[in-house]
Amino acid sequence: MIKMILFRKFRVLILMVFLVACTMHIMIDLLPKLEKRAAGADSGDGGCQCAHHPAGEAQGWGKQRARSAAEAGWPNKHTLRILQDFSNEPSSNLTSHSLEKNTAAGERAESFGRMRPSAGKAEDHKPLIGDASGGRTVPAHGASGLSALFEHPLYKIDLPTLTDDDTLFNVNTDIRFYPRTTGNQGWHNDDGNEEEEVFSPTGEVTAESYPNWLRFHIGINRYELYSRHSPVLDALLKDLVIQRITSVAMKSGGTQLKLIMTFQNYGQALFKPMKQTREQETPPDFFYFSDFERHNAEIAAFHLDRILDFRRVPPVAGRLVNMTREIRDVTRDKKLWRTFFISPANNVCFYGECSYYCSTEHALCGKPDQIEGSLAAFLPDLNLAKRKTWRNPWRRSYHKRKKAEWEVDPDYCDEVKQTPPYDRGTRLLDIMDMTIFDFLMGNMDRHHYETFEKFGNDTFIIHLDNGRGFGKHSHDELSILVPLSQCCRVRQSTYLRLQLLAKEEYQLSSLMEESLLRDRLSPILIQPHLLAMDRRLRLVLQVLAGCIEKEGYTSVVEEDLEGDSATHRSPGHR
């Protein structure tokens, strides 16, 4: 009998503990809402965004987490962010696994439908929004080497006349956006002052007042991501640095942590945080697939791509980010938020979730809460501008012992030339451009590439995911050049620009150094990396010279220039 009584009391005790736990759980869920209401009633500081100090993090952690969506500026499903996506992996068509989920396809089409011209009206079919592609920026007093380069005839070659089939989006200049439908009337205002409206008298925003990220999207065509002298590019780079960050979420996929950042104007960018200093060279025993991604490599790759006149890397800028105010306090990604902690050195740290390098041993720590990173502008959303992912024919095996077929078969390129899409058009020449680009950076991680589906096989390769470049300056990985040495094919325009950049007055390292000085995190590359590019450029020209000597100039160099620009050949081949 006594045992029975004790057993019943034990069951009652267990039930009471369970009820108390449930009550506490409910109270914890309700506490943020109660604090939010109390803060809204008591606050009179206008939403001060003062700097947070790590020493006081423990006391205010839960309270800061409870900030409302309106204060954080988290965009709703009707915002312009549906026009964007960033892709750098075969599975990268997916956005964040937690919070950056896409809206329904019908909502996307309805939102973007406002930009489409009305069917059946001839007067509605007007040219694209101009991005000053025909004009040029005026060089500053005492013209720089970079300005002189862009004034060279090789950098003034006009594109073919663009048709509707050659532009990613067909937008009329008289189409209007209605910002009020986005839930934030100040979406276009860089200063964040929603009361200071700059709408037209009709309350609409003209096409010229589109946010810079949208103007960048509209300017994409079959031949380039952006034009040589587009004023939108510099404006977009500035936005990446100064726009207020309103939300942050982890990007799904990949071996290392990447964050999706949304700005006040609903632009989005991919943030890669600093993991290694500029002086840290990749150890010689490291496999190419086990190295850390470098934020400064992403920045330098964009500038190199522009100097080579490829213009196939989305705009990238460096930014110093406050980990507390600009990441932790604005994220709704619980998985990310839970990985924040204060280190023994009293610095703010986090590590997120990813396939390999996301743990306390690989935590990202600020000093005390400031961290460098690269911000790469998103490309248009996949539902509006589909992209096709292609396996790189010269993809590495990603195995410690096995070699890829191209590494053991000297006639491998002949097989590639007989395989679509490399058997016609310019795709093989695009691969050669990408090979040269990767070799100058020392990037061995080009496993896939992407193209815009609308343009079919007759378009450029998008140079995405360049974080594993610029890891070694004391070593030249000649295996990267195998596609070029096997195929012995190159564009005439590419070949002539490489020769130009090898000259003293247009030295590649000097031009890169000058271009990188424009970034907020300058210096981006240390001097040994800059000098390594000059050395690698000479090696590229040596490989091409050997091909020309063996097979002849016309068999190696594919003519793609007309008129005066085509006469700028090397002295031995005129």
| Of residues 51, 86, 43, the one with CA closest to residue 68 | 43
Cα dihedral 387, 391, 396, 398, rounded to 10, equals: 80
Taking only the tens place, the pLDDT of each residue in 322-343 is 999 999 999 999 999 999 999 9
Considering the domain boundaries, does residue 238 fall inside one?
Answer: yes
Residue 85 has pLDDT above 70, yes or no: no
Full domain range(s) for residue 259: 145-558
Task: Give the pLDDT score at 133.
Answer: 33
Residue 47 or 477, more confident: 477
pTM score: 0.73
Show the CA angle centred on residue 452, arms to residues 383 and 74, nearest 5°: 40
What is residue 159's three-state secondary structure?
coil
pLDDT above 90 coverage of the chain, percent: 57
Considering the domain boundaries, does residue 134 fall inside one?
Answer: no
291 pLDDT band, cuts 50/70/90, is confident
What is residue 151's three-state secondary structure?
coil
Taking only the tens place, the pLDDT of each residue in 493-520 is 999 999 999 999 999 999 999 999 999 9
Considering the domain boundaries, does residue 104 fall inside one?
Answer: no
Residue 171 has pLDDT above 80, yes or no: no
Binding residues: 256, 272, 293, 376-379, 450, 465
385 pLDDT band, cuts 50/70/90, is very high
Taking only the tens place, the pLDDT of each residue in 59-84 is 344 444 444 333 444 434 333 333 33
Kindly list the distances between the CA atom of residue 446 and the CA atoms of 89, 419, 441, 463, 532, in Å, as whole numbers in the listed order. Answer: 10, 19, 12, 9, 20
Give me the residues paired with residue 390 across strands.
449
Considering the domain boundaries, does residue 354 fall inside one?
Answer: yes
Token code pair at residue 408: 């053991």
Task: Give the pLDDT score at 290.
Answer: 65
Binding residues for ATP: 256, 272, 293, 376-379, 450, 465
Catalytic residue among 85, 305, 438, 445: 445
Known catalytic membership, residue 29? no
32 pLDDT band, cuts 50/70/90, is low
102 pLDDT band, cuts 50/70/90, is very low
Considering the domain boundaries, does residue 201 fall inside one?
Answer: yes
Q: How many domains does the chain have?
A: 1
If you average pLDDT over residues 19-38, what whole number do you get? Answer: 65
346 pLDDT band, cuts 50/70/90, is very high
Considering the domain boundaries, does residue 51 fall inside one?
Answer: no
CA–CA distance, 118 with 120 (Å, rounded to integer): 7
Token code pair at residue 88: 């750098």
If you average pLDDT over residues 462-467, what whole number do you get? Answer: 95
CA–CA distance, 434 with 339 (Å, rounded to integer): 37
Considering the domain boundaries, does residue 40 fall inside one?
Answer: no
What is residue 171's three-state secondary structure?
coil
CA–CA distance, 28 with 20 (Å, rounded to integer): 12
Considering the domain boundaries, does residue 153 fall inside one?
Answer: yes
344 pLDDT band, cuts 50/70/90, is very high
Mean confidence (pLDDT) of the chain = 78
Binding residues for Mn(2+): 293, 465
